């Protein structure tokens, strides 16, 4: 599903054309425009543009709403149209604006189409928040549409693909930021069995995908040194009351607000530097494998060969 543009003005005949042109101009100047729930609202010139993947629920939804409340244009993403349009509608009722794009991260084709749609529809992307994710439950080995271990693709390979597809736009929008929503749950990648065919557990698959996100964060930080794109990763908060925590049957231990505060710091604070992993609001060392040069090279090569993206 792609966002619909504001409806073109009806063909009112030659005599009404100048009046209609003036009306359209006045309408375009009124920012933000409040259209029906099924329409997205395009950004106005100069408006900050933010993509929050997985913003139809949980942490991503809260970050999208907060950015909208600050006046940004938010590209809302997810698979669930109804929940997505609720977020879009709420943002469009305030100082910001939003449009909904849908793509299943279990499909590289859908992620490529999403990236291409954003490149087509936007001339800037100030902030990319790679938030969409699938948790450790069910404790079952699932396979993506492209035949890869499901969490590795949804949580890591697809964000890798999307980020690299959008990188020219992000670079040209500098100063810009990329925030990768990772986790304290980090499991080392077994290079003999990356797709976890043996000794599978949902927790291990989730943790491996989250470690890969951090390794990619460090790679991007190094590759983008000096171009004005800040890249960080974080564990937002522990067991927030979101969809994936409910599915795991775990009692929440923190609030979505706490997690959103930590994400917002990485989006807006002038006090932080890039190339770091944060536990909430504070920098922390991630799993050792994320810093291991050989592992990072192997992960880069594998990710490039599986996604066809990633040349820097």
What does the binding site for ligand NAP look like in residue numbers (CB under 6 A)? 54-60, 78-80, 83, 104-106, 131-134, 154, 181, 183, 235-236, 238-240, 242-245
Decide whether 121 or 258 has the Cβ nearer to ligand NAP.
Answer: 258
Decide whether 33 or 281 has the Cβ nearer to ligand NAP.
Answer: 281
CB of 225 to ligand NAP, least distance (A): 26
CB of 48 to ligand NAP, least distance (A): 21
d(CA 117, CA 129): 17
3-state secondary structure (DSSP) of residue 149: strand
Decide whether 160 or 173 has the Cβ nearer to ligand NAP.
Answer: 160
Of 217, 208, 226, 134, the C-alpha closest to 178 is 217
> Is the Cα dihedral 114, 116, 121, 123 positive or negative?
positive
d(CA 233, CA 209): 13
**Count of alpha carbons within 13 Å of 184, Cβ hemisphere only?**
11
d(CA 300, CA 306): 10
CB of 258 to ligand NAP, least distance (A): 10
Helix 202-223 vs helix 293-307: crossing angle, to nearest 10: 100
Which alpha helices (DSSP H) does 249-292 contain, by range? 256-268
CB of 21 to ligand NAP, least distance (A): 39
Q: How far is CA 228 from CA 98, 173, 177, 272, in A?
A: 25, 9, 8, 13
Decide whether 51 or 173 has the Cβ nearer to ligand NAP.
Answer: 51
With a CB cutoff of 8 Å and minimum separation 6, the contacts of 21 are: none
Decide whether 9 or 80 has the Cβ nearer to ligand NAP.
Answer: 80
Q: Whose CB is nearest to ligand NAP?
A: 58
CB of 34 to ligand NAP, least distance (A): 24
CB of 155 to ligand NAP, least distance (A): 6
Structure tokens at 284: 């922390």
CB of 27 to ligand NAP, least distance (A): 31
CB of 300 to ligand NAP, least distance (A): 21
Decide whether 127 or 173 has the Cβ nearer to ligand NAP.
Answer: 127
d(CA 223, CA 145): 30
Decide whether 56 or 173 has the Cβ nearer to ligand NAP.
Answer: 56
Task: Please check whether residue 170 is in contact with residue 254, taking contact to mean a CB–CB distance below 8 angstroms.
Answer: no
Task: Please check whether residue 121 is in contact with residue 3, taking contact to mean a CB–CB distance below 8 angstroms.
Answer: yes
CB of 106 to ligand NAP, least distance (A): 5
Decide whether 97 or 242 has the Cβ nearer to ligand NAP.
Answer: 242
H or E element, residue 176: strand 176-181
Decide whether 34 or 253 has the Cβ nearer to ligand NAP.
Answer: 253
């Amino acid at each position: 599903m792609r966002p619909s543009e504001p409806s073109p003005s009806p063909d009112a005949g030659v005599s009404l054309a100048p009046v209609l042109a003036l009306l359209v101009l006045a309408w375009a100047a009124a920012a933000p425009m409040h259209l029906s729930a099924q329409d997205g609202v395009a950004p106005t010139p100069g408006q900050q543009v933010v993509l929050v993947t997985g913003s139809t629920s949980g942490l991503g939804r809260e970050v999208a709403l907060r950015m909208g409340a600050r006046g940004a244009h938010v590209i809302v993403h997810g698979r669930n149209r109804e929940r997505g349009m609720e977020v879009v509608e709420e943002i469009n009722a305030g100082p910001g604006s939003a449009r909904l794009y849908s793509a299943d991260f279990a499909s590289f084709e859908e992620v490529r189409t999403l990236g291409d749609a954003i490149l087509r529809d936007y001339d800037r992307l100030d902030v990319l928040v790679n938030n969409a994710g699938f948790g450790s439950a069910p404790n079952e080995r699932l396979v993506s549409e492209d035949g890869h271990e499901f969490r590795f693709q949804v949580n890591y390979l697809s964000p890798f693909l999307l980020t690299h597809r959008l990188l020219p736009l992000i670079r040209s929008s500098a100063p810009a930021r990329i925030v990768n929503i990772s986790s304290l749950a980090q499991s080392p990648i077994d290079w003999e069995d990356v797709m976890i065919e043996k000794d599978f557990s949902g927790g291990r698959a989730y943790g491996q995908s989250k470690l890969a996100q951090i390794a990619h964060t460090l790679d991007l930080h190094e590759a983008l040194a000096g171009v004005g794109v800040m890249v960080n990763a974080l564990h937002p908060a522990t067991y927030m009351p979101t969809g994936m925590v409910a599915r795991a049957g775990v009692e929440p231990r923190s609030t979505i607000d706490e997690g959103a505060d930590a994400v917002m710091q990485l989006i807006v604070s002038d006090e932080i530097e890039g190339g770091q992993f944060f536990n909430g609001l504070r920098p922390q060392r991630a799993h050792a494998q994320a810093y291991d040069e050989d592992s990072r090279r192997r992960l880069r090569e594998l990710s490039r060969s599986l996604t066809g993206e990633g040349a820097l």
